[in-house]
Amino acid sequence: MTSLADEPVRSSWTSPAADAAGRRLRVFARLVRCSGPSSGADAIEYRLHAGGALLFCTASQPTYAGALGRAAELADARAALARLPLRQGCDESSAVTSSLDQITNRGRNAEIPDALQDLAEEIAVDVHEACAAFDDPNLWYPGVDEGIEPVPDEHVRLVIAALQRELDRERRNALGQNVEPRLPPAPLAELPWSIQRALAERRRLRFSQYGIGRPQWEAGAWSLWDVREDADWLPRRAANVGRAGGYAGW
């Protein structure tokens, strides 16, 4: 297991190693960068940034764990990380999809921010596992009974349609490459209904693990501090699992 906590914050945004633990810490590592050292009139300082915001200055290069702890203590830094844009890669008309008739073969789903790549890949793993039901309709693929808001049938259909649009757009060849000849996408709506429902429930659970529920979805913003800390958490993804960042509706 790689220790991300003790690594110095890099000068550019980074993707943590697959075996680097910590759910919130991994998100933080994708959000921040450290510039410096720079010599001022009084001292040498390093500057920690998140997007265009300066979070704080420090006399020594911080580690990811140290920087996260310091950001939590400083009111301005904490506030800057408490309201982050939730959607990217979309215009206003496609930012919020809340009904099945809004899903067409044209366009694309809004994408979650790069800092939430682990969330995207967790959903990709859930989709991959659900597709095993094409070979085994009796596949044990449990949904989520507790800890999420109930998912009505209409929303299950919406989620499946949105995921299908992403599969249609992100077709790959037999080697997982984005080149011809591309394989046809898996027809998710042909999965057993119990699998479709379980997939939608799992997806809602994944979002909740990153602090994203109905209020965040409607506001179009999320907070780092709502992401579960889960210091020992590791992503499930295999090295060859592709991105599945698109989503439509929470």
What CA–CA distance (Å, rounded) separates 247 from 109?
A: 5
The residues, ordered by sequence, that sit 6+ positions from 36 with a Cβ below 8 Å of its Cβ are 44, 45, 46, 47, 61
Flag residues of the chain having pLDDT under 70.
Answer: 1, 39-42, 89-110, 238-250
Which pLDDT score, from 0 to 100, does residue 228 have? 98
For residue 140, what is the DSSP state?
A: -
How far apart, in whole angstroms, are the C-alpha atoms of residue 154 and residue 126?
20
Q: Can you give the pTM of this predicted structure?
A: 0.86
Q: Where are the domains of the chain?
A: 1-81, 92-221+242-247
pLDDT value of position 237: 74
pLDDT attached to residue 247? 43
